Chain A
Amino acid sequence: MSSTTTAPATRRRRGGLNKGETGAGWLFVSPAIVIVGVFLVAPILLALWVSFTNWNGRFSPINNPRVDFVGMENYAKITTEDGLIQQLFGRSIRNNVYYVLLVVPLQTALALFLAIQVNRRMLKAKSFFRTAFYFPSVTSSIAITGVFMFLFQASGVVNAVLGWFSIHGPNWFADPSGVLHKILGWFGLSSAPAGWEKPGFLGVSTWDWLGGPSVAQCVLIIMAVFTTSGTFMLLFLAGLQNIGSEVGEAAVMDGATGWKTFWHVTLPMLKPTLFTVLTLGLIGTWQVFDQVYLTRGTPAAATLTSPAYLAYDQAFSSNRPGVAAAIAFVLFLIIIVMTLLQRFVLADRDPSGYGRDRKAKKKAKGATS
């Protein structure tokens, strides 16, 4: 501490306003640190410990002679050890993979489309359209799920609309069949080819892995796109307005068509926003819980589970806190890997920035050598 008293006065003058700010500083951040420490950092550490034990949820998991350190056993149960838990986990991953694969591209594309449309200079009633598209993002997932369960009931609104086009809509929440299986069925392929029905990766058969999202899950997918596109539209809108219209106009002067301008000028300049939207989308879709929880009583519920819901289920209904904690950490890992992967992919496809630079340099190198 003596060093701070003799510390160069210049430092204090540069940044701080007063003497003795260390005390005030820590005092100001202490409520935040206490809450974050107790309800964020401590839970992570405790859960990490629990994920390596056979704790049964009774009494304390710390300093309890009945709690044994079991190493990777819980992690093995969900990944490598054949059994019910592995199957449940595999199925939840399978469901979530299809959910991510469909929701993220759809919500991003729709949000970008909406942003470009409501950003048109000629357009009147801009704020009406923005409000309409954003409003679903404001409401609670519970209310929306309730409304969607009404819309998608067997004799509901959606099937009535489909009826206008002579399409006989499915009994959405009662239909567990995979969409791809259904399509294959139209071509007469209604059962798995030999060997494809055996338990494969994570205890789920190859045939099931390739089934596509279930009909029931399509409702959750539509709902997710419906509720998130507005938020992401606002992000894209902000990005578009940072670019300004001059750039696009310059491109048009140079003879670029609308599509070319979009593809070669607008989209590359939106890359930072695109990165944000895709990252938030990936993180969000891997966390799907509320909708799964609410539809867990429907006939097709098994095709709706997600790792987040399974972690909840294992902790609360099946009394396996260790397995639940292990699932939570695997989910965390998935989310981190996805984010990094996506950062890597986008950096490499960058037509204007770092990635292209690197490729151009490589090319130049090849040409000279």
Chain B
Amino acid sequence: MRQKVTAGLIATYAVLVALALVYIYPFLIAVIGSFKTDSQATNDPMSLIPSPFTAAAYERLFFDTDLPLWAMNSVFIAVVVTVARVFFDSLAGYALSRLQFAGRSVVFSLFIAVMAVPSVVLMVPRFLVIKQLGMFDTYFGMILPLLVDAAGIFIMKQFFDSIPVSIEEAARLDGAGVFRRFWSVTLPMATPALITLTILSFQGSWNEFAHFIISRQSPELHTLTTGVGALVSGQLGSGNQFPLKLAAAVLMTIPVAVLFFIFQRRIMSTSEGAEKG
């Protein structure tokens, strides 16, 4: 392919580099700001070199706030939700794709309809049910409503639809039951979809906020989102302690950022896969 350097191409690069800077800068300045002193962050937010360089904000986060506890809650909830979602969504997706059963189309329509209900609209209604069930302010109330996700079921069904049935036929002739065929034959073939679902579920439950605002109350049940949320909005007396807030934002971003960079190719696969094909 001949590479002709045109004015248009240079302009494109200029615009894209400028835009990329705009997109990256807030994260960069957050990391830098988190190592500044309170007064430097407030009075000199632009400078790219913290002077003095201090990790005091991180120290305060670990020793003066409950951030370690919030992080543990977030990890616990995100792991349980992710594992359950991947399993239950696959089960349901498999049944909807492969098994002939009375009422299948009704169930499928139900899931599609449910996907259309905006989650924020469900916030207050869900609280009512969680409270009626006596699950308010418990891990159950925080976790159970997130265990299944209709969009995930849809992704898995679509993927199972694309796997040929013939392989399963062979397993059936060898005497494998339904669950065996699902677990040992078809599910392993769905690894790409499972990885996608894992990433989406982890990212979703890690970043979940509104649901944890309405399903819990005790400080012990704070997750990173609600805990850092309280910190950011100044409820914890954090006022103008910007380094503290920025450090918290940086810390809660790290796990999803790591996941993102590991699986970047897969996340971007919508575009890159098509490009190669």
Contacts and interface: CB of A to CB of B under 8 A. Distances in A.
A35 B20 contact: no
28 contacts: A12-B100, A17-B165, A24-B179, A25-B99, A25-B101, A26-B95, A31-B88, A31-B92, A33-B107, A36-B148, A39-B144, A46-B129, A119-B271, A133-B23, A140-B206, A140-B252, A142-B224, A150-B33, A155-B42, A155-B43, A283-B118, A289-B120, A289-B123, A308-B123, A312-B123, A312-B210, A332-B117, A332-B121
A108 interface: no
Interface in B198-245: 203, 206-207, 209-210, 213-214, 224-225, 228-229, 231-235, 242, 245
Nearest to B165: A17
Contacts of B165: 17
A17 B144 CA distance: 32
Contacts of A145: 232
Interface of A: 4, 11-12, 15-18, 21-26, 28-29, 31-33, 35-36, 38-44, 46-47, 50, 60-61, 114, 117-123, 127-136, 138-151, 153, 155-157, 160, 226, 230, 234-235, 237-238, 241-242, 283, 286-287, 289-290, 293-297, 308, 311-312, 315-316, 321, 324-325, 327-329, 331-332, 335
Given A25-B100, A118-B16, A234 B268 contact: yes
B241 to A, nearest CB: 11
Nearest to B12: A117
B126 A39 contact: yes
Interface in B161-213: 165, 168-169, 172, 177-179, 181-182, 203, 206-207, 209-210, 213
B117 A312 contact: no
9 smallest CB-CB distances across A and B, nearest first, come from A25-B101, A43-B125, A47-B125, A28-B95, A16-B100, A143-B249, A39-B145, A241-B274, A287-B120
A15 B89 CA distance: 21
Interface in B122-179: 122-130, 132-133, 144-145, 147-148, 150, 153, 165, 168-169, 172, 177-179
Contacts of B268: 127, 130-131, 134, 234
Nearest to B247: A146
Interface of chain A: mostly helix, strand, loop or mixed? helix
Nearest to A123: B12
A36 B228 contact: no
Interface of B: 1, 3-4, 9, 12-13, 15-16, 19-20, 23-24, 26-27, 29-30, 33, 41-43, 45-46, 88-89, 91-92, 94-96, 98-104, 107, 110-111, 114, 117-130, 132-133, 144-145, 147-148, 150, 153, 165, 168-169, 172, 177-179, 181-182, 203, 206-207, 209-210, 213-214, 224-225, 228-229, 231-235, 242, 245-246, 248-250, 252-253, 256-257, 260, 264, 267-268, 270-272, 274-275
Contact of B45 (A39, A135, A144, A160): A160
A315 B124 contact: yes
Contacts of B45: 150-151, 153, 155-157, 160
Contact of A150 (B95, B203, B245, B271): B245
B123 A143 contact: no
A260 B136 CA distance: 58
B128 A43 contact: yes
Contacts of B235: 297
Of B9, B110, B129, B144, most buried by chain A (CB within 10 Å of CB) is B129
Nearest to A309: B120
A144 B253 CA distance: 9
Nearest to B107: A29
Of A149, A150, A241, most buried by chain B (CB within 10 Å of CB) is A150
Given A28-B91, A129-B20, A325 B100 contact: no
A18 B178 contact: yes
A140 B148 contact: no
Contacts of B130: 39
Contacts of B13: 123
Nearest to A223: B26
B16 A325 contact: no
Nearest to A24: B178
A361 to B, nearest CB: 32
A311 B144 CA distance: 23
Contact of B148 (A24, A32, A150, A290): A32
Nearest to A45: B125
Contacts of A16: 99-100
Nearest to B5: A122
B209 A290 contact: yes
A203 B10 CA distance: 53
